[in-house]
Chains A and B, each alone.
Chain A
Amino acid sequence: MNEKIPLQLLAKRVAEKSGADIATAQSFIKSIFANATQSLLKGDSVTLEGIGTFKISHSPENPIVFKCDGELADQINAPFAIFEPVEISEEVSVDELDTVDLPVADDIEDLSDEEVKAQEIVSDIDESSSDMEVLTDEVSNDAVAESIDLNENNVTENTIVEDAVTLSEPIVDVVEGNIDVPEIPETEITEPEITYIPEQGEEFVEYHIPKSRFGLGYFLGIVTGLVIAALAIAAYTIYTSEALKNTAI
């Protein structure tokens, strides 16, 4: 913007567009404007198609009047082509026109924060939706496997398909009413592993016996106490019998 294009650069750009060499383009440009000058000096106007028209004016301040080519003017004003002159009512003052509600810096920061939050929410939603897809895939596979098992038990497929629809409704589109059991490759259906348990003659029931608060220590304590009591009684008996013998003597 506001760059000055000298003749050499102009000739180079013209040469690139026309395919001619730079020297020829430069002499062409010089010759065009030299002949235009000669024509103007003779008093003729010069019209350069796609550029504009040069006319002679008798004003010493501005001896040549230039009028831009209409097509060129439209092209350079293309950014403002949507605007048109607007009549302003007398009630509107110029001060009101100058007032423009521009967002202040704080508001801009707040808006940017909100935008970031919105982006975070969107990313969270995307992540959760991907999780949902995984879940619905699992659910639909389980539902299909279940439907295959239930078909063997003479259960109508409609109910199973409806169950699958309700489980995978957010993501998977299932046409209700049509009994279309999706074709699943055999490799995807994995049968549950069955471990063989040998049958026994009697059913083994493990009874759970609650533990008593009185354990072995309790009984040992009682026995020890009884032994001590017996020894004490025996010692007392011996002592009293000997005391009676002494008194008798």
Chain B
Amino acid sequence: MDSKQLIDIVAEEIGINNTDADGLYSALAMTIRECADELATVAIPGFGNFSTIKRNEEIVVNEQGQKTLLPPVIEMSFTPSILLRKKMIG
């Protein structure tokens, strides 16, 4: 399922038109981006947490013994909530 399908379903569920739903979705994506820039964690009850982790530069060695210095990177990770995890495991 993609975001467009989700927006259509949600717009119908909460009783708003698709234009407003598109605007709300854009605002949601933008807010999550801003939170990621701030290295903040976004908590969605019943779904999980979006958090950003900064990994420092590191040296990796391949099979031939060649060392490579990797630059630092900020990764966005998702941790499912306990409820969602239980549902998924069944």
| Minimum CB–CB distance for B42 against chain A, Å | 5
Q: Are B87 and A41 in contact (CB under 8 A)?
A: yes
Bound together, the chains give a CA A25 to CA B67 distance in angstroms of 49
List of B residues within 8 angstroms of A18 by Cβ = 20, 23-24, 26-27
Q: Which one of A1, A5, A32, A60 lies within 8 Å of B6 (CB-CB)?
A: A32
**Residue on A nearest B9 in the bound complex, by CB:** A35
The digit string for B31-45, where 1 denotes a CB below 8 A from any CB of A, is 111111111111111
Bound together, the chains give a CA A39 to CA B34 distance in angstroms of 26
Q: Are A72 and B6 in contact (CB under 8 A)?
A: no
The digit string for B41-53, where 1 denotes a CB below 8 A from any CB of A, is 1111111101010
Size bracket, chain A contacts: 35 or more
**Number of B positions contacting A (CB below 8 A):** 63
* Contact stretch, chosen from A62-70, A180-188, A216-224: A62-70
Other contacts beyond A35-B13, A49-B29, A83-B57: 18, CB < 8 A:
A2-B41, A3-B38, A5-B43, A10-B35, A10-B44, A14-B28, A17-B27, A28-B10, A28-B25, A29-B44, A45-B1, A47-B1, A50-B3, A72-B76, A73-B76, A80-B71, A86-B68, A88-B67
List of A residues within 8 angstroms of B14 by Cβ = 24, 27-28, 31
User: A192 contacts the other chain (Cβ, under 8 Å)?
Assistant: no
User: A40 contacts the other chain (Cβ, under 8 Å)?
Assistant: yes
User: A139 contacts the other chain (Cβ, under 8 Å)?
Assistant: no
List of B residues within 8 angstroms of A80 by Cβ = 71-74
Known contacts A28-B10, A29-B44, A14 near B80 by CB under 8 Å:
no
Q: Are B52 and A76 in contact (CB under 8 A)?
A: yes
6 A-B contact pairs sorted by A residue (CB < 8 Å): A15-B27, A32-B7, A32-B25, A44-B1, A66-B78, A86-B68
List of A residues within 8 angstroms of B6 by Cβ = 32, 35-36, 39, 46, 48
* Contact stretch, chosen from A51-59, A126-134, A204-212, A237-245: A51-59
User: A34 contacts the other chain (Cβ, under 8 Å)?
Assistant: yes
Q: Are A20 and B76 in contact (CB under 8 A)?
A: no
List of A residues within 8 angstroms of B26 by Cβ = 17-18, 50
Show the binding face of A for B, using Cβ within 8 Å.
1-7, 10, 13-15, 17-20, 24-25, 27-37, 39-41, 44-52, 54, 56, 60, 63-64, 66, 68, 72-73, 75-77, 80, 83-88, 90, 92, 94, 97
| Minimum CB–CB distance for B76 against chain A, Å | 4
Q: Are A48 and B29 in contact (CB under 8 A)?
A: yes
List of A residues within 8 angstroms of B34 by Cβ = 13
Q: Are B3 and A47 in contact (CB under 8 A)?
A: yes
Q: Are B1 and A39 in contact (CB under 8 A)?
A: yes
Known contacts A68-B76, A76-B52, A48 near B36 by CB under 8 Å:
no
| Minimum CB–CB distance for B74 against chain A, Å | 5
Bound together, the chains give a CA A247 to CA B56 distance in angstroms of 146
Bound together, the chains give a CA A180 to CA B2 distance in angstroms of 79
